[in-house]
Structure 1
Amino acid sequence: MEINIFIDLLFKKSKERNLENFEIYYTSTKSSSIKVFNQEVDSYSDSNSQGISFRVLDNGKMGYSYTESIAEKEIDFLINEALENAAVIENNDIEEIFKGGGEYTKVEVYNPALEDVSIGAKISLLMETEKKTKNMDTRIKRVNYCVFGSGSSTRIIRNSNGLNLSEKGNSAYIYISVVAEDGGVTKSGSSYKVSNNFESFDSDYISREAVEDALSKLNPISIESKEYKVIIKNEAFASMLGAFTGIFSSDNIQKGISKLKGKLGEHIASKKVTIIDDPHMEKGMASSSFDAEGVPTRYKEVVKDGVLTTYLYNLKTAKKDGIESTGNASKGGYKGTLGISPSNFYMKKGDTHYRDLIKDLDNGILVTSLAGLHSGLNSISGDFSLAAEGFLISNGEISSALNQITVSGNFFDLLIEIEKIGDDLKFGLSPVGSQSVLIKKLNISAD
């Protein structure tokens, strides 16, 4: 059944059952992935999925149900299941269906031309990228991974209060991983790009970046374990910031599992630090005009000049604090329950060029990547101990690659210790981004 017809029938049936507060949430996704190896297609996958969830407020309790089947017979199931679930809920949280209000900022997140790119064109891009990478330097021994992925999604929210919203988006990425060898030492390097414009995927740039990344790590040296002045490069700091986004969630604040509880209006970071949540960013990976409850999204500086200005809210947590939602309700697809997450979340651009950060550091360590973010940090205390890759900086120049090191410290202290911020904003394969940052001191342990 066509989805809009199904939603109309579900809406009509709900009204006939005298339901006054309900919401219909629909998502569909399409994704594909192509991998090449040694100039042959190694794997290809193509998948489609869709589903619809139903929420109903009954006697002050919110019931949920969902189904993957868009068939008329599912309508009674969705209504009955949601009502039954509402009847057994024991918590006393006050929940609501969004009543509307506010202005929606139009966000362009869909490029129809991306859907017209042929499989042949994607394979040609991968073949060309792999070939250029292998031929760029004799020390490149193999390409481990060369993949192109793309996907599109549609989201519809309709509720009993007259809300009727829809949004469509798409994106693609290319990723390559290579291995370099010299003098019996092997190191890996990688490169990637995310965009919804196929013409922006440049095989020359992707190949060169991956090769340079791998070659730069050859001939590493060991250093003394001690406290160093450190630059954490943009991608590495973005990955750390991403691991700590939960500290800004009002749900975690209200549960007492964030150290930022009670810190609104206080300095929690260096005055150089401004952290932005921007759901309207052009070509942002998490750009959207409305959140998972249909609330209009809005730009906000969560930390401004080092001062914590707001937490991130959905309707339920905002109700508890007596304020308006910030438009940060999230759902992990139609099956997911409501949570809170940022959109495009990043550190505001600083006034120092990346090369000048290196010069200003003079002597210290450049950290280029971090590993073990899921197991090596505690998002509540802020403590972390992470395997890292990096370089020694001597007299304002990158001098030598380092054998694996471990960086340790506390994230909340680290925010205070930021002395300078670069102008090199970069997002990883997620909607969390950062500039490179110069840190006053950080513990470095050498293996």
Structure 2
Amino acid sequence: MMEINIFIDLLFKNAKERGLENFEIYYTSSKSSSIKVFNQEVDSYSDSTSQGISFRVLENGKMGYSYTESIAEKDINFLISEALENAAVIENEDIEEIFCGGEEYTDVEVYNPDLEDISIGDKVSLLMETEKKAKEMDIRVKRISHCVFGNGSSTRIIKNSKGLNLSEKGNSAYIYISLVAEEEGITKSGSSFKVSDNFSSFNADTISKESVEEAVSKLNPVSIGSKEYKAIIKNEAFASMLGAFTGIFSSDNVQKGISKLKGKLGSYIASENVTIIDNPHMKRGMASSSFDAEGVPTKYKEVIKNGVLTTYLYNLKTAKKDGVKSTGNASKGGYKGTLGISPSNFYLKEGDTTYINLIEKLSDGVLVTSLAGLHSGLNSISGDFSLAAEGFFISDGKITNSLNQITVSGNFFDLLNEIVAVGNDLKFGLSPIGSPSILVKKLSISAD
């Protein structure tokens, strides 16, 4: 297999020799590994690598695509010929372009070389310590379901005929534990995780304590009546909901008429407490990057500012349709993927209220700690949702009993307007979508 930079240079040279004036080479590679321990033994270990390259060419106003996993000299002619053939049969009238480069690219910290040097032994020791501490912390812990450490790295290269030549490497790691606690025949699960590019930040005491406390706190649940309650939606729970609705901010969906935000720029679509940020320059953020999938410089933006919708998310094609500049949100699902639109590190901006103060402010109501069924229980176009949830009852400003399974329902667009306070506990899940905890005027809750 040929070294990738040599292959790219040869592909570039051949495309030029064939008289092509508008083309792009896009390369991605990734490697990942994961280790799972069970009962103080290594239960499984996996290690994988992948790479691929795609070629785009603009010929007679039509964009043709090709790709291959093989990085060998024989593949060069295939990539060029296949892309040209595909361009010749495309009937799409959309105007596309090869990007000529941005004036300035922001340096982003996305790679820590020290993470590549962590030994398998150190990872196993961390997992075994985490599992052991979780088991010993409370006699009600009956089973550790998962105790996993994973890490990965990725590389992107974009080079095109307009002079663009960009590359970026990133890496990160995570630890995850889930367990089951039991008391008087009732079983409840708890979990905890941490994502970082710094191995020393993974702490067995913290991870095990969080998972045990979550599981044990759910034991001895009570039932409540079905009605509208004042509610707090905890950070991870609202982040998962926000993640399910990110498509409403895509300019492509707006232009196709499948987002309710069409025609809403400059209008209030949420309470003044709501500012939603897309920040590709976040230090060590999971989706931080200096350029998007088209090579456009990424930029920080407040998509909603104090309740007002300020922008949609654009790539080059949709920006041209609206007569605006791309926001640097072009995305590709790997080298095989066609161009789409995605947010980067996307989150509800923190407020200045502590989690404890949110609970005191609520006084009497419901704390929603997790949501399930996000893929089937909501409609991203209408905003309607009906989701299985877990939570606690709050009385006199204090968390009391956990609740038997409940269902929360409503409309996401209405919910954004019902937010009366935002916590200062911003948290990201195992994705680049984050949120602090929020206090809402009312939430429809039905007991199962």
Q: TM-score, normalised by structure 1?
A: 1.00
What are the Cα deviations for residues 63-104 of structure 1, in whole angstroms up to 9, with x where unaligned? 000000000000000000000111111110000000112310
**Residue of structure 1 in register with 2:390 after alignment:** 389
**Residue of structure 2 in register with 1:10 after alignment:** 11
SS in 2 for 1:433: strand
What are the Cα deviations for residues 317-343 of structure 1, in whole angstroms up to 9, with x where unaligned? 001001110000000100000000000
Matches within 5 A, 1:37-436: 37-436=38-437
Offset at 1:388? 0.1
Offset at 1:351? 1.6
Counterpart amino acid of residue 331 in structure 2: S
Query: Are residue 29 (structure 1) and residue 37 (structure 2) matched?
Result: no
SS in 1 for 2:45: strand
Q: Please provide the CA RMSD for this pair.
A: 0.4
For residues 389 and 124 of structure 1, the distance between their equivalents in structure 2, rounded to whole angstroms, comes to 33
SS in 1 for 2:328: coil
For residues 141 and 345 of structure 1, the distance between their equivalents in structure 2, rounded to whole angstroms, comes to 37
Determine what percentage of the aligned residue pairs are the same residue: 81
Mind listing any 5+ residue stretches in structure 2 that lack a counterpart?
Answer: none
SS in 2 for 1:43: strand
What are the Cα deviations for residues 329-372 of structure 1, in whole angstroms up to 9, with x where unaligned? 00010000000000000011102111000000000000000000
For residues 391 and 109 of structure 2, the distance between their equivalents in structure 1, rounded to whole angstroms, comes to 37
What are the Cα deviations for residues 278-328 of structure 1, in whole angstroms up to 9, with x where unaligned? 000011000000000000000000000000000000000001001110000
For residues 124 and 316 of structure 2, the distance between their equivalents in structure 1, rounded to whole angstroms, comes to 45
For residues 259 and 417 of structure 1, the distance between their equivalents in structure 2, rounded to whole angstroms, comes to 18
SS in 2 for 1:276: strand
For residues 125 and 349 of structure 1, the distance between their equivalents in structure 2, rounded to whole angstroms, comes to 32
For residues 398 and 184 of structure 2, the distance between their equivalents in structure 1, rounded to whole angstroms, comes to 24
Q: TM-score, normalised by structure 2?
A: 0.99
SS in 2 for 1:398: strand
What are the Cα deviations for residues 244-269 of structure 1, in whole angstroms up to 9, with x where unaligned? 00000000000000000000000000
For residues 172 and 243 of structure 1, the distance between their equivalents in structure 2, rounded to whole angstroms, comes to 24
For residues 199 and 33 of structure 1, the distance between their equivalents in structure 2, rounded to whole angstroms, comes to 18
For residues 293 and 308 of structure 2, the distance between their equivalents in structure 1, rounded to whole angstroms, comes to 28
**Residue of structure 2 in register with 1:19 after alignment:** 20
Counterpart amino acid of residue 310 in structure 2: T
Counterpart amino acid of residue 368 in structure 1: T
Offset at 1:381? 0.1
SS in 2 for 1:6: helix
Counterpart amino acid of residue 273 in structure 1: V
Could you list the runs of 4 or more consecutive aligned residues of structure 1 that deviate by over 2 angstroms after TM superposition?
Answer: none
SS in 2 for 1:424: coil
For residues 309 and 285 of structure 2, the distance between their equivalents in structure 1, rounded to whole angstroms, comes to 24
Counterpart amino acid of residue 112 in structure 2: N
Counterpart amino acid of residue 130 in structure 2: T
Counterpart amino acid of residue 129 in structure 2: E
SS in 2 for 1:154: strand
What are the Cα deviations for residues 172-222 of structure 1, in whole angstroms up to 9, with x where unaligned? 000000100011100000000000100100000000000000000000000
Mind listing any 5+ residue stretches in structure 1 that lack a counterpart?
Answer: none
